[in-house]
Amino acid sequence: MMVALLHRKTTKEECRLNAYVVSADRRLLEAMRGSGHFDTVVSVSKEMAGVLISEAEERSRIPSASDNGQLTFDPGMHTKLNTLEADGLPVFDRNAARVWLVSDTQLDIYEAMALGSGEPHSRIVYMLSNGLDPQALKTRQSLCAAHGLSYTLPYHTAEQVADIAAGVGASRDKPLSKVITGIAALPQLGLTSSLLRTGITLSRMSGIRVGILGLNGWNPGDSGIRYTGKYLDELWGSLQGRQLQAHELKGKMHQLAPGAHYLAGSRDLKKLYYYNIEGTSWLIDKAKECFDLLLIDAGSYPDHALAAQSILASDLLLVQMHQHPQAKLQWGRLCDHILQPVFRWEERQSLLLFNQMHRSPEMETEKQLSRQLGLPYVGSLPFVQGFSRAEAEESLLERQWPDYDKELAKACRALLHFYDIPLLPSASASSMEGKAHELEVSSKSSSWLRWMKPVKGA
């Protein structure tokens, strides 16, 4: 039973936070050591954790006058641990705040609960994996909440888990990401084309630099345009090795407009589950350095690393929907099986963007669908008769459709409002014609404006 100690030197003035990790992932230990959040990082084996739990259960049955409610080791084990002291700081320093990270592959939920009972002054962070069925995942989350355990959801990188652990121990605030992720209820809803036109419109209306990443996984998203940039599968080696730098990325993307660039997704369907969370996170981080606002196409099936990191990185989720009953049914399944148990969907800021909408008394309206789905809508893009022909001619971004563009501009103004990004004078002047109508709509109880939470400091 080995205990490995990773430490960095601290001064007495620093707020000390000790972390104890029950996990077989060495990358997590390295990430926590490199994060700078922790005074010490101790790897605790599964067997040693079992000893701690057994001692805690024994003490709970036989109270001791000297028991202070914290876990202790038997004398022999305690002697071994004391040999790992560094700079006079014991491995288990009782004067420092403590956080335990426990993998569900090492301890089951009941063992984690027992560990939490034996360490009442420490925070326990239970790391959930994605090998569970949706109901089992929800059950473990409920048990964690009932017994005062924090938890991390699947698809987080080691660095992200380290940041979460530090936030649990030191109440650190999550910075803004300036990332908007689009997800569709069904394939072929026009998510990619609408995001590309959204990026161009956002840049034209505000003058900001907008990047669009194609992280669908099932579709490279290059139809309908004359794409000249690199593809995700071409860059993956440099992303997985964390070699691609921000100043290199923009040159590998396709320029849609003076302020908008696009990286198309993977052309190799067999690589979908080869792409990992670390490489995906690296790409998103480098893109955030290049652009003022980042749009991500996550496709319609989010249970893989590309889409998962896109959702986790976002400030705002843009859900694309249309009137077909199958879209509502599929969206319900996505929420029940993936989005709620894996991503805590109900806690995320989400807006509906309707597409391919038909005006017919036989079809439900966007207001009816919005109420049924329990999400506010930010725009309703109409069905365009000539869309397929424009796609075949690779002229989707050059064509103009007044009704479509008007609704898209309204959605873009909402997104800019969300980040408190001002419009350019020319864009403000062009929007004056419809301003009176929008003010009338915004005064109603069903308006999307009452749902929007402007982000200051963006």
Q: Are 141 and 257 found together in one domain?
A: no
Q: Are 162 and 188 found together in one domain?
A: no
pTM above 0.85, yes or no: no
Tens-place pLDDT, residues 14-71: 456 889 999 999 999 999 999 888 988 999 999 988 888 888 777 766 654 444 444 4
Q: Are 134 and 191 found together in one domain?
A: no
What does each of the 458 residues of the chain score in pLDDT, given as a tens digit? 333 433 434 343 345 688 999 999 999 999 999 988 898 899 999 998 888 888 877 776 665 444 444 444 444 334 334 433 333 334 555 556 789 999 999 999 999 999 988 888 888 999 998 876 788 888 999 999 999 999 999 999 999 999 888 884 444 456 678 999 999 999 999 999 999 999 999 999 999 999 999 999 889 999 999 999 999 999 999 998 899 999 999 999 999 999 999 999 999 988 888 899 999 999 999 999 999 999 999 999 999 999 999 999 999 999 999 999 999 999 999 999 999 899 988 778 899 999 999 999 889 999 999 999 999 999 999 999 989 999 999 999 999 999 999 999 999 999 999 999 999 987 765 654 554 444 444 444 344 444 455 444 44
Task: Indicate the residue among 144, 170, 196 that finishes a domain.
Answer: 170
- The CATH number that applies at residue 413 is 3.40.50.300
In a domain, 447, yes or no: no
Q: Are 25 and 165 found together in one domain?
A: yes
Q: For residue 345, what are the domain limits? A: 179-423
Q: Are 102 and 199 found together in one domain?
A: no
In a domain, 76, yes or no: yes
In a domain, 458, yes or no: no
In a domain, 443, yes or no: no
In a domain, 52, yes or no: yes
Task: Indicate the residue among 170, 189, 219 that finishes a domain.
Answer: 170
Q: Are 119 and 47 found together in one domain?
A: yes
In a domain, 446, yes or no: no
Q: Are 331 and 276 found together in one domain?
A: yes
In a domain, 375, yes or no: yes
Q: Are 230 and 351 found together in one domain?
A: yes
Structure tokens at 75: 């004398």
Q: Are 204 and 338 found together in one domain?
A: yes
Task: Indicate the residue among 170, 196, 213 that finishes a domain.
Answer: 170
Q: Are 47 and 78 found together in one domain?
A: yes
Q: Are 199 and 154 found together in one domain?
A: no
In a domain, 186, yes or no: yes
- The CATH number that applies at residue 160 is 3.40.50.2300
Domain count, the chain: 2
Q: Are 87 and 117 found together in one domain?
A: yes
